[in-house]
Amino acid sequence: MKKPLVVLVVLLGLGVVGFAQGSQESKQSAQATGTPKNSDILVVGRLNDAAYLDPNAPTVGGAEVNVTQQIYEGLVTVSDDGTTIIPCLASDWTISDDGLTYTFNLVPGVKFSDGTPVTGQDWEWSLLRARDLETSAYRFIAEAIQDVKATDNQVVITLKYPWAPFLADLCCFNMVVGSKAHYDAVGEEAYLNDPIGTGPYMLKEWKKENYILLEANPYYRVAGLPKTKQLKFQVISDDNTRMMQLQAGQVDICGDVPFTLVKPLESDKNVTVQIFPSTQIRYLILNTTKTPFSDQKVRQALVHGIDKQEISDLVAGEFGAPVAALVSEAEGKWFNSQLKVADYDPELCKKMLQDAGYTLPVPFTISIRSGSAIYEQIATLLKSQLDKAGFDVTIEQLERASISAKYTSLSHQATILQWIDDITDPSGITGWTVDYDQCDSWYTGLNDVALDELNTAANREMDETKRVQMYYDIQQKVYDNANVIPLFRNGFAYAYDKNVKGLYVSPFSVVFYKNVIKNVK
Amino acid sequence: MNQLNYIIKRILQIIPVLFLTTVLIFLMIHLIPGDPARLMLGEKATDSAVAALREKMGLNEPLTTQYFTYLKGLLTFDLGTSITYQRPVSQMLLERIPVTLSLTLLSTLLSLLISFPLGYLAGIHKDGPGDQIVRGSALVAIAMPSFWVALLLMLLFSVHLRWLPAGGWGSTPLQHLQGLILPALTQAIATSAILIRNIRNSVVEISVMDYVDFARSKGISERTVRDNHILRNTLISTVTLLSMRIAYMLGGSVILETIYSLPGIGKLMVDSIFGRDYVVVQALVFLFAFLVLVINLLTDILYSVLDPRVRF
């Protein structure tokens, strides 16, 4: 009995001493050298692992995109603030007068991370695959493409119809060039997990559900980049643990910091907290195929029963703000700033319901995804506010698959969802909200044909001034329809080691790490 | 009935229980609403893509066919392919079981290391100041939820002292050990608190038994009396409690592995439930059920070793 216990105590002691010794050595090494030096590795702590590393895979979300964007590149990209389209693998481009032909001149000498040159065939295959791959979650981004013809120096894309957001669509994470030869060698299944691109990093090791390790691409077209040799995405499923690992120096950067943890982190002198502008907005979605929200008067009354300021303050604190317009303020010129948040007036809400012939209270159920603290918080606040405004709200919590099945079959009454733009253009959110064929007008079941046609026309209008006005009109109409009610916007909260420099998060929740360094003295 | 017959009988009893478990698991997973194919492809996927994936996954087959496919897979350790990670489930389990078993083993050893000396001394010195402190501390430890203890330990040992990592598994054996210490300590604190109270009460009860007085009256040294007559008899009830706690700790790994970010089967269970990765959930629930049954069987066998009076 005694021997195993002694062995156990010795092992535990070794563990503690080993870890403490490691920390001490890193401190001493930094003090001994004294000269500024960059760390060879950046560790990013995040909640989930990627499902695949192909941007045209069946599952693509933040966990996937933030890795694939380091590995793949497209013809164009967006500026750091997300408002301007800038060259990437295309040095310049022209658009034909009829808006149907886009001609891109390529940056010469670009190679994949395996050292093979990028060819015209790679471009043709990549862009047509983005359009045609049946299981791709984002093939709709490329659906306007009629054909792609490319040489090693030029890519010519013809469209089926004029499509104003096309340049913005080309900035999307799935409109990138991959190696056809590599795909042919490994096959479809393996390709999903085995990326080879032209980006600053390449995949070195993927320990699924644990970490993804990227290494600098030795053939990257820009000398001196990336500035850090290795990039590790470490999965840490619990928010509190993630933040403590940051404070303990185990990880360098954490995104998706819960707003409730921002203040405690700000008081840590070794951690920097930064809020980046985002296109993230939370919405209340009302099903117009079911009572009581089949009646527009009820929907419009409900708007006055919601105190968006209170919801924003309590959920996102100083990092949020109530919103009235469908399109995010971070989209710049496309945002309709003329729309104002409706006054919170529960008595007016009650009166409007009674005028519409309803007996108070009007019952309805908000179905939300379980396990999300933010959604639970929003639903609780909505219930508290709307119960005072003539409604009788029940909150129903369902796990992810069940809630998805519920609203995709339009069997809910109301739910809470969010949106983050993928591209620097409003066509994503407006299409999702008013195009009945896409998703029953964002699971509201409202088939407003005139609005749908206006959206289609806006997508094909090449005169930008006219187009901006059309999107203003769309936002006004959604505001009046009150089937999708924007609640509040919030920034992206990131916390990182104070020695990390050069971090920038786009309004689309994408981070490009090629310029990020960690100074270790 | 001799011991071997008893063990064989117990093993045979496990089979129908496991069979029933497979039926329950399969029905629970398949009858709740929600389409795994839709969930996997995301909301922006077309209906045709969802239909194609349903066909590929065999979800269009009758439930009975799907059940027998599942059962056949279990018997051949072909547990299917994870929907989320597109990897063989058997391979994922083989990678993860060592993490959870290491955590459970270390937790058990730490629990014994903490609880036996404290519980025994508290019992021997009944109602003394040491006994009061140990009993009070155990009560406090029982009242503390594991996730809270975990956060406190990480704050102290990782953020402030920087002695141990705040979760994570690392990539070397030493890092694995470092990563296990705090979660094992978290488990051990809760388990020790329960064991301490049990050991202390057993020692108090056994110390006044006639056979203990008789042993003392024969002139046997106090140490021998304590080791052979008191401690050994204390072990019997402790083993029962410990086996229940080990089963509980396996279940508790679901929470602790998530908090400490350990890639064990507990964390996999949480991820798979939320991702509706029913292939993995089926395999894991079965595995947990199997492990609990095995622990119960081993406990029953251990009784006969500890207590010669136990016959089958």
ipTM value, please give it.
Answer: 0.70
The DSSP result for A178-240, as a single string, is --HHHHHHH-HHHHTT----SSSEEEEEEETTTEEEEEE-TT-SSTT-SSSSEEEEEE---HH
Q: Does B164 touch chain A (CB under 8 A)?
A: yes
B278/A201: higher pLDDT: A201
Contact B86 A19 (CB under 8 A): no
User: Chain A, 146-205: which have a CB under 8 Å from a chain B CB?
Assistant: 189, 192-193
Tell me, yes or no, if A411 comes closer than 8 A to chain B by beta carbon. Answer: no
Nearest CA in chain B to A58: B41
Mean pLDDT for all residues in chain B: 85
For B113: left if phi > 0, alpha if psi spans -120 to 50, otherwise beta; the answer is: alpha
Radius of gyration of chain A (CA): 25
Strands (E), A360-404: 362-369, 391-398
Binning pLDDT at 50, 70 and 90, where does residue A30 land?
very low
CA distance B241 to B195: 7
Q: Which residue has the tokens 């401690």?
A: B231
Minimal Cβ distance to B39: which of A247, A249, A400: A400
Q: Are A150 and A112 in contact (CB under 8 A)?
A: no
Q: Is the pLDDT of residue B9 over 90?
A: no
Residue A409's closest chain B neighbor by CA? B34
Query: B272 or A277, which is more confident?
Result: A277
Q: If you measure CA to CA, which chain A residue comes closest to B167?
A: A241
Token pair belonging to B87: 């990897």
| Three-state DSSP state, A489 | strand
| Predicted pLDDT at A131 | 94
pTM of the predicted model as reported, rounded to 2 decimal places: 0.81
Short-list B158, B241, B229, B149, CA closest to B187 = B149
**Token pair in block for residue B167:** 């979760």
Res. A396: pLDDT tops 70: yes
Range of weakest confidence among A19-33, A275-289, A363-377, B176-190: A19-33
Element (H, E) at A65: helix A62-71
Q: Where does the pLDDT of residue A47 fall: very low under 50, low under 70, confident under 90, or very high at 90 and above?
A: confident
Is B44 strand, coil or helix? coil
A199 CA: distance to closest CA in chain B (Å)? 24
Nearest to A210 among B49, B169, B258 (CB): B169
Q: Which amino acid is at B64?
A: T
Ranges A42-46, A423-427, A439-443, B268-272: which has the least confidence: B268-272
pLDDT tier at A27, thresholds 50, 70, 90: very low
> Is A404 in contact with B38 (Cβ distance < 8 A)?
yes
For residues A229-255, average pLDDT: 92
- Which residues of chain A does B155 touch, with a Cβ-Cβ cutoff of 8 Å? 244
The arrangement of strands across the sheet holding A253-254 comes to: A201-207, A211-216, A230-235, A41-46, A253-254, A492-497, A271-276
Contact B42 A60 (CB under 8 A): yes
> Looking at the predicted structure, is the pLDDT value of residue A28 above 80?
no
Q: Sort out which chain B residues have CB atoms less than 8 A from A142's CB and list them.
A: none
Distance from CA of A46 to the nearest CA of B (A): 11
Nearest-CB residue to B163 (from A16, A140, A250): A16
**Distance, CA of A496 to CA of A500 (rounded, Å):** 7
Listed residue (A507, A465, A164, A476) closest to A326, CA to CA:
A476
| DSSP per position, A138-181 | TGGGGTTEEEEEE-SSEEEEEESS--TTHHHHHTSTTSB---HH
Q: How far is B223 from chain A (nearest CA, A)?
A: 16
Name every chain A residue with its beta carbon within 8 A of the beta carbon of B273: 399
Question: B167–A241: do the CB atoms touch at under 8 Å?
Answer: yes
With CA atoms as reference, report the closest residue to B245 among B107, B143, B145, B96.
B107
The DSSP letter of residue A285 is: E
- List Cα–Cα distances, B164 to A123, A249, B182, B260, in angstroms: 49, 11, 8, 12
Residue A21 has pLDDT above 70, yes or no: no
Q: Which residues of B are less than 8 Å from A140 in CB distance?
A: 44
| The pLDDT value given to residue A400 | 73
pLDDT digits (tens, 9 = 90+) for A293-323: 999 999 999 999 999 999 999 999 889 999 9
Residue A42's beta-bridge partner residues?
A231
Of B240, B257, B122, nearest to B187 by C-alpha is: B257
Do you find a cis peptide bond into A226, omega within 30 degrees of 0?
yes
Per-residue pLDDT at A1: 46
Measure Cα distances from B131 to A314, B204, B225, B230 in Å.
Answer: 47, 11, 20, 17
| CB-based contact B277:A401 (threshold 8 Å) | no
* CB-based contact A209 B44, cutoff 8 Å: no
Residue of A nearest to B36 (CA): A401
| Predicted local distance difference test score (pLDDT) of residue B210 | 87
B149 CA to chain A: closest CA distance, Å? 13
CA–CA gap between residue A242 and residue A44 (Å, rounded):
10
pLDDT tier for residue A29 given thresholds of 50, 70 and 90: very low
**Encoded tokens for A151:** 């040489």
CB A334 within 8 A of CB A279: no
- Sequential DSSP letters for A401-469: HHHHHHHHTT--SEEEEEE--SSSSTHHHHHHHH-HHHHHHHHT----HHHHHHHHHHHH---HHHHHH
Q: At what angle do helices B173-207 and B129-143 cross, to 10 degrees?
A: 130
Residue A484, SS3 per DSSP:
strand
- Test the A interface: residue of B111, B149, B163 with most A CBs within 10 Å: B163
pLDDT-based confidence at residue A32 (cuts at 50, 70, 90) = very low
Q: Is A249 on the interface with B (CB under 8 A)?
A: yes
Q: How far apart are CA B256 and CA B264, in angstroms?
A: 10
What the block records as the tokens of B263 is: 């890639």
Query: Is B231's pLDDT higher than 60?
Result: yes
Cβ of B42 within 8 Å of Cβ of A19? The answer is: no
Residues 6+ apart with CB under 8 A from B76: none
CA angle B33, B38, B39 (to 5 degrees): 80
Among candidates A138, A234, A405 on the partner chain, residue whose Cβ is nearest the Cβ of B44:
A138
Least confident residue range of A79-83, A227-231, B33-37, B127-131: B33-37
Query: Which residues 58-87 on chain A approach chain B with CB closer than 8 angstroms?
Result: 58-61
State which amino acid sits at residue A150: A
Q: Which member of B92, B151, B168 has the closest CB to residue A250?
A: B168
pLDDT confidence of residue B43: 64
Instruction: State the best of B30, B38, B41 to mutate against chain A, taking most chain A CBs within 10 Å.
Output: B41
Contact A16 B181 (CB under 8 A): yes
Does residue B151 carry a pLDDT above 60?
Answer: yes
Q: Is B152 on the interface with A (CB under 8 A)?
A: no
Provide the shortest C-alpha distance from residue A365 to chain B (in Å). Answer: 18
Residue A405 C-alpha, separation from nearest chain B C-alpha, in angstroms: 5
Q: Is the pLDDT of residue A25 over 50?
A: no
**CB within 8 Å: B113 and A193:** no
If contacts are CB pairs under 8 Å, which of residues 115-144 in chain B contact chain A?
A: none
CA dihedral A444, A450, A455, A458 (to 10 degrees): -170
